[in-house]
């Protein structure tokens, strides 16, 4: 089983991968419609929105939580943020 390098989601089914491409190291939720991986800014925005919906945090707290979680993932470990 692969784990998404951009969000940490386990990827087991073909539908978990962008456009069903099981060679990708990132999941369908971290991909643009063309199958390429979202930028840090795109992922941060979608992850923040997810945390707001799922956990009910305000946007600022959700953004801080998303930044913290993303900093631990391989895709973003060398990204320096403001």
Give domain limits for the chain.
Answer: 2-70
Q: Which residues contact 77 (CB under 8 A, 6 or more apart)?
A: 71
Apex 77 CA angle, 76 and 79, nearest 5: 60
For the whole model, what pTM was predicted?
Answer: 0.86
pLDDT band at 78 (very low <50, low <70, confident <90, very high): confident
CA distance 82 to 80: 7
Residue 50 neighbours by CB under 8 Å, 6+ apart: none
**pLDDT tier, 42 (very low <50, low <70, confident <90, very high otherwise):** very high
């Amino acid at each position: 089983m692969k784990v998404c390098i951009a969000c940490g989601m386990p990827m087991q089914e073909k539908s978990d991968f962008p456009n069903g491409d099981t060679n990708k190291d990132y999941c369908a939720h971290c991909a643009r419609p063309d199958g390429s991986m979202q930028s840090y800014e795109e992922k941060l925005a979608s992850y923040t929105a997810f945390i707001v919906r799922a956990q009910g945090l305000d946007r600022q707290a959700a953004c801080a939580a998303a930044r913290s979680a993303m900093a631990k993932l391989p895709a973003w470990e060398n990204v320096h943020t403001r």
